[in-house]
A = this chain, B = another copy of it.
């Protein structure tokens, strides 16, 4: 059994940024040597998401507008009594999901034709990590 762990680091210029990481994950899988198994890709910070969807800038814009509608910034959240101002980022990341498990088949990520993995940052401009854990044989 082969278990390999690596971390991806992010430090976004914008507070909110969506970054495609499919190739980064694929490289870690290739390096691990795992032919059959799974890889967990999980945000280690609680105002960021990891999700699978389309690599199309219009749709990414739609996601951002939609998240702002369902989980608005600037409300009088109780979390902000601690001095924080990012309660909406916690809610947005919950809507998108914070982790995915990708199948590995014949040494490759076993993804559908349009599946792409994204890191979604909702409170960036500081260093944050994603854990990538490969398990298989």
Contacts and interface: CB of A to CB of B under 8 A. Distances in A.
Contacts of A38: 40, 133, 135
Contacts of A113: 45
Given A59-B79, A110-B131, A114-B45, A97 B96 contact: no
Interface stretch (A13-21, A24-32, A63-71): A63-71
Contacts of A90: 53-54, 59, 62-63
A63 B46 CA distance: 13
Contacts of A129: 112
Copies in the complex: 3
A19 to B, nearest CB: 17
A115 interface: yes
Contact of A45 (B77, B105, B112): B112
Closest 7 CB pairs of A and B: A44-B112, A58-B78, A3-B36, A59-B79, A58-B79, A103-B133, A62-B77
19 contacts: A1-B136, A1-B137, A3-B36, A3-B136, A5-B110, A40-B103, A42-B102, A43-B112, A44-B115, A45-B115, A46-B52, A46-B54, A53-B90, A59-B87, A59-B90, A61-B78, A63-B91, A99-B100, A110-B131
